[in-house]
Amino acid sequence: MKYLQGRVRHYSWGSHNAIPRLFGHPAAGEPVAELWFGAHNNAPSFVSDDPRQQSYAPQGGSGELLSLAELIAADPHRVLGDDIIARYGSQLPFLLKLIAPDQPLSLQVHPSLEQAYLGFEREERAGIPPQDPRRCYPDQNHKPEMLYALTTFEALVGFRSPRRILGVLSGLDCAVAQRVRTTIAAEPNNHGVRQAFSQLISQATRPTEEEVAELVTQCAARRSVDSPSPRADALAVRIARFHPGDPGIVASLLLNPVTLHPGEALYTPAGIVHAYISGLGVEVMASSDNVLRAGLTYKHVDVAELLRITDTVAAPPIRIAAERISSVQSTFYVPVDDFELSVISLRHADERVEVKGCGPRIILCVRGAVEVWIGNEFFFINTGQSMFLSADDGAISVRGAGELLQVEAP
Please list the active-site residues: 293
- Report how far residue 266's alpha carbon sits from residue 269's, in angstroms, rounded to the nearest whole number: 10
H helix intervals, 101-153: 113-125
Decide if 14 contacts 102 (C-beta within 8 A).
yes
Q: How far is CA 330 from the centre of its chain?
A: 21
Q: How many CB atoms lie within 10 A of CB 203?
A: 7
Give the Cα separation of 74 and 83 in Å (integer): 18
77 a known binding residue? no
Q: What angle do CA 33, 37, 38 make, to 5 degrees?
A: 130
Contacts with 225 (C-beta within 8 Å, 6 or more apart), sequence order? none
Q: Is residue 182 exposed (0-12), middle (13-18) or buried (19+ Cβ within 10 Å)?
A: exposed
> What is the identity of the amino acid at 329?
Q
Q: Is 354 annotated as a binding-site member?
A: no
Q: Residue 102: which of 233, 241, 204 has the closest Cα?
A: 241
For residue 59, give every residue at least 6 positions away whose Cβ sits within 8 Å of its Cβ, in sequence order, or none: 7, 8, 9, 10, 43
- Residue 274 counted as an annotated binding residue: yes
Extract the runs of DSSP E, i.e. beta strands, from 102-251: 107-109, 145-149, 153-159
CA dist list (Å): 112 to 29, 95, 140, 282, 308: 37, 16, 10, 22, 12
On whether 123 is known to bind a ligand per the annotation, the reply is: no
Residues 409 and 26: their CA atoms lie apart, in Å, by: 34
Tell which residue, 150, 258, 113, 255, has the closest CA to residue 196: 255
CA 165/CA 34 separation, integer angstroms: 32
Binding-site positions for Zn(2+) read 108, 110, 145, 274
Question: Which residues does the annotation place in the binding site?
Answer: 108, 110, 145, 274
